[in-house]
Structure formats: C-alpha cells, structure tokens
Amino acid sequence: MKTIIEPFKIKSVEPIYFTSEQERISILKNAFYNPFLIKAHDVIIDLLTDSGTSAMSSEQWAGIMRGDESYAGSDSFFRFEEAVQSITRMQYIIPTHQGRASEKILFSILGGKGKFFISNTLFDTTRANIEFSGAEGIDLLCDEGKHPSFIAPFKGNMNIDLLQKTIEEKGAENIPLIIVTITNNSGGGQPVSMENIKQIKTICNSYNIPLFIDACRFSENCYFIKQREKGYENKSIQEIANELFSYADGCTMSAKKDAFANIGGFLAMNDATLAQQCRNLLIITEGFPTYGGLAGRDLEAIAIGLKEIMDENYLKYRIRSIEYIGEKLEVAGVPFIKPTGGHAIYLDAADFLPQIPAERFPGQALCCELFIEGGIRGVEIGTVMFGKYDANGKTIPATMELVRLAIPRRVYTQSHIDYVAEVIIAVFKRREQIKGLKMIYEAALLRHFTAKFEQI
C-alpha cells in the first residue's frame, strides 16, 4: 500500500519558533507547570486541543469574504442553516459562539436542582454547565471503554443495562434528556456505534426522555461506523450522519471541531417550545437568532467546513495520522489508549508513570516532561481535570489518568507527527526519573485551566 498523503497543498504558512531545553525548563516554571499558562509562541508543536485550531481551506477563506454581516436574516445564516439541516435534518437551528454556549442555554433551561443528565461520558464543559445549573451529570460508559489497552471497535458506547437501571433509580421525570458524546472526547476519542445509539433511543422512547447528541466530532464518528460497523461500508458519511441524527431529538455542537472553523457552534432540535425558550435566552446572552454571537463570515466558514469535513479522503488521512503515531508508540512499548481514536492520541499516564500516585498528578507531570523534551503541549485528562474531594478533603481520583495530544485538523504534516512520536519515546525511556507535582492553586470549577503547581 502506498503512503496515505495529506489531501491538501499548503498555500500559506506560519513559522514555528524554536526553544532550547534550558529555556523550556524556565518557561514551564514561570507557567506554574500548567501548559494552559504557557504562551503559544513558546510551544513547538501545539497539541493542547483540536478546538478552533483547524487550518481553513481556500474555499472557507473565500466564504469569509462573502460573509453577509446583516444583523437579521443574513444570507450567511441561511447557508449555515441549510448546511446544518442537511446533516441533522432537524427543524430548529440556533447558532452560538461555541459549544459551551449551546450547553449553557440548554442546561439553564432544562437543568436545576434534582435533575440528572445521563451520558456515555460528559465532556468537561458539559458537566460544568450541568453542575452549574444545580443538576447532576452521570457517566455510564461501557466496560470496554474503561480499560485503556483493551481493543474493541466502539469503546465510546453507553452501558445499556446501567442506563435502564439508572433511569429507574433516579425517576424518568427527573431526567430532562440523555446526551451521547460522539466521539467520546474525554474517554479517548472512541466512537459510539449506530447500534448503541438505536438502543439508547429505544430506551429513551420507552421512558419518554429526549435524546441529544454532543455532535462535536460527528464526522469522525460516522467514519468509524463506516469502517467498523456491518451494513455501513457502502454508505456515504452524509447518509450515515443522517441516520445517526434521525434517532436524536436535538444536538449541541462546537463548530471549532468537526466544522473546521476557528469559532462557532450551534444547537439543533425538533421541539418548537424548547427552541423558542432557547432563542429567548440566546437573545439575552449571545445575540439575535440569525447570528447568535457570530459574525456572518463565521457562519459562512462553518457552512463550508461542515461539507468539507465529510470528505472521505480527508477522514481517511485524519484517522490514519492518529493511527500512525499509535503504531510507532506500540513498537516502543509506550502505553496509550487502544485502538487509537478520532482526533487525538491518549497516553496512559498511570501506566507510563506508575511511581506517581493520582494525588501527585501523573498526567500533569507527563505533560510537563513532553514540553521540556520537545516543546510539545498536551493536556492532562485525569485527576487534575476530573478529580474530586471526599468529605475529609482526600482526593477522589479520576477513572483514568490520561494525557491527550490532540491533533489540529490539516495543520501538521507527517514529519511533525514523526517528531511527536520521537519526543514521547524519549520521555518514555527516562520515565523512572520523573516525579509528581503538588497543586498550589485551584478554582472551584474547571480547575485544570488555571491551576498552579510546584515540583516536589
């Protein structure tokens, strides 16, 4: 088989600034060992997130010029609405400035004390918006999804037995909706099968609970369905997406992911009353319903990006580039979540650094070492992000200690990816010398963004 090449040519480039290891040690110290506090200029390969970091196409840039900036009823809004409807077939499309704005609106209306929202795994902002409303979020990931090195095709699936039990236990009347994250970002970018979505929908129907999709990476998820699920091999991504969304009553979306946009998001749904409530809140917090916190040019870029993201040549390259790092790490014995998922490689920091206990943050320590070794910036998805305290102030660790290296869309080439693998392997070779960290500052919610650490 021939090399799977980047399905694009490069027309405009941005420089990478290089630093020495000595410089990086002091940069990291000044950033309190939190990669979020490092200046982007000081990063060589930035894998902090795939959110809003995509390279836009020449068509999208052309769309930026075409953007209609009319306050109400702009042409760009209707092109945006048409693009979202062609994928979701949903009736009410509400633009927002990004995914969490959609979440804030939805959960402000449906949440509140005594309510429960069930998911395969809630993303951090989704959980935070649920909890901020006073409600509780419940993750019911399938068992396969909890074992990093266990190979299964759909490790993002929800545990169907537990779903039924949990609904019975909490009472259907206290569950305003069930939300499935595709692909499962916090659980390794693992896909959810069509079969699982159908089963969830059947249970939702029997209890009269609406089903929502957190659709940030819908296209990557649909590509995995095409690759791995029987009966979908010959369907287009658009057809698979249409079927998937046909089981849902609504969705939240961050266009910063599978829409190649640098900003944007939306809410889509079929319930007219709920849509009206959402739009009323949107007007207060985001803007008029035909722009929702975005410029006309952003709506235009999203409309074009949503079509480009379903191109199978792109998806093949996208999924392959993640798998490619996985193959290199596998040979070197580096522990990571298998099989590789959609948008990122997830190192298993608990296995990588067994000498560091959860309350000394092995994932955070590994992030720091990747930065020192090669100027790579990743993010901890472990006890810093999801840890809690018990009544005595003792740390309740996260289920997994992961380091996510998210690959921005269409930004890095194969040699960048080779470099990333080399840096990870170099850190792995000196893993026994690596020590943990102590947290010296934390905010009440989403603490990972601003937490400060010191070395021990």
Query: Which residues are at the interface with ligand PLP (CB under 6 A)?
Result: 51, 98-100, 123, 125-126, 181, 185, 214, 216, 254, 256-257, 265
For ligand PLP, give the closer residue by CB, 186 or 423: 186
Which token pair is 119?
């998911």
* In the complex, least distance from residue 254 CB atom to ligand PLP, rounded to whole angstroms: 3
Which token pair is 199?
């089963």
The order of strands in the sheet holding 136-139 is: 92-96, 265-269, 250-254, 211-214, 178-181, 116-119, 136-139
* In the complex, least distance from residue 17 CB atom to ligand PLP, rounded to whole angstroms: 26
For ligand PLP, give the closer residue by CB, 185 or 383: 185
* In the complex, least distance from residue 361 CB atom to ligand PLP, rounded to whole angstroms: 22
3-state secondary structure of 211: strand
User: What span, in angstroms and rounded, lies between the C-alpha atoms of 381 and 404?
Assistant: 7
- 282 membership: H or E segment, kind and range: helix 272-285
- 298 membership: H or E segment, kind and range: helix 296-308
* In the complex, least distance from residue 404 CB atom to ligand PLP, rounded to whole angstroms: 10
- Let me know if 273 is exposed, middle or buried by CB neighbors in 10 A (0-12, 13-18, 19+): exposed
For ligand PLP, give the closer residue by CB, 216 or 366: 216
For ligand PLP, give the closer residue by CB, 34 or 185: 185
- Name the closest residue to ligand PLP (Cβ): 99
User: What span, in angstroms and rounded, lies between the C-alpha atoms of 395 and 28?
Assistant: 25
Helix runs in 89-123, H state only: 99-110
User: What span, in angstroms and rounded, lies between the C-alpha atoms of 108 and 114?
Assistant: 13
- Let me know if 285 is exposed, middle or buried by CB neighbors in 10 A (0-12, 13-18, 19+): middle
* In the complex, least distance from residue 261 CB atom to ligand PLP, rounded to whole angstroms: 10
For ligand PLP, give the closer residue by CB, 139 or 369: 139
For ligand PLP, give the closer residue by CB, 139 or 214: 214
Farthest CA pair distance, the chain: 61
Which token pair is 38?
């490092």
* In the complex, least distance from residue 359 CB atom to ligand PLP, rounded to whole angstroms: 27
Closest to 259 (Cα-Cα) out of 99, 20, 66: 99
* In the complex, least distance from residue 27 CB atom to ligand PLP, rounded to whole angstroms: 25
For ligand PLP, give the closer residue by CB, 180 or 304: 180
For ligand PLP, give the closer residue by CB, 177 or 439: 177
Which token pair is 188?
């390794």
User: What span, in angstroms and rounded, lies between the C-alpha atoms of 277 and 294?
Assistant: 20
Stated length of the chain: 456
User: What span, in angstroms and rounded, lies between the C-alpha atoms of 225 and 243?
Assistant: 11
For ligand PLP, give the closer residue by CB, 98 or 219: 98
Q: What is the identity of the amino acid at 29?
A: K
Which token pair is 389?
């305290």
Upstream peptide bond of 335 is cis (omega within 30 degrees of 0)? no
For ligand PLP, give the closer residue by CB, 189 or 375: 189
* In the complex, least distance from residue 306 CB atom to ligand PLP, rounded to whole angstroms: 15
* In the complex, least distance from residue 256 CB atom to ligand PLP, rounded to whole angstroms: 5
* In the complex, least distance from residue 49 CB atom to ligand PLP, rounded to whole angstroms: 8
Which token pair is 397?
């660790």
Per the CB < 8 A criterion, the answer to whether 183 and 196 are in contact is no
Q: Residue 418: count other Cβ atoms within 10 Å of its Cβ.
A: 13
* In the complex, least distance from residue 88 CB atom to ligand PLP, rounded to whole angstroms: 16
For ligand PLP, give the closer residue by CB, 57 or 181: 181
